Amino acid sequence: MAKLSTRSQPIPVETEHVPHDPDSPTAWMADGNCRLHPPATFFPSDGVGVDRARKICKDCPVLSTCLEFALDERIDHGVWGGCSERERRRILKRRRVEATV
Ligand code: SF4
């Protein structure tokens, strides 16, 4: 498991190799850029932290999968798929509106 950092900047940390089931619906997580950063980076307490997490997500190879997972699971904490909680709420609201048109 990744170490939690109290630094203000995310730092790459050694992570233990955690065997995972490649057939698991969350197997994509093993390919996320966040695997190299402390989990706390993705649960920021302010806008600066959200921007920091977004920069890591920006070129993540599983960004869209991550975002759809968070939307499907109604995850309401943290940055997932490059989007904050607020942004995900907006996406869900927009999709609900579009579904009724
Ligand atoms: S999009 Fe961001 S939170 Fe999702 S797997 Fe990639 S780096 Fe992690």
Write down the pLDDT at residue 18.
Answer: 53
| Structure letter (DSSP) for residue 30 | G
80 in Cβ contact with 53 (< 8 Å) = no
The Å distance, Cα 100 to ligand 1 centre, comes to: 30
Ligand 1 atom nearest to CA at 33: 7
- One digit per residue, the tens of pLDDT, for the chain of length 101 reads 343 433 344 444 444 455 678 889 999 999 999 999 999 999 999 999 999 999 999 999 999 999 999 999 999 999 999 999 999 999 999 999 999 98
16 token code pair: 């233990």
For residue 82 and ligand 1, the question of a CB distance below 6 A is answered with yes
53 Cβ contact list (under 8 Å, min separation 6) = 41, 42, 44, 78, 79
84 token code pair: 């904050």
Length of the chain: 101
Amino acid at 86: R
Q: Kindly report the pTM of this predicted structure.
A: 0.81
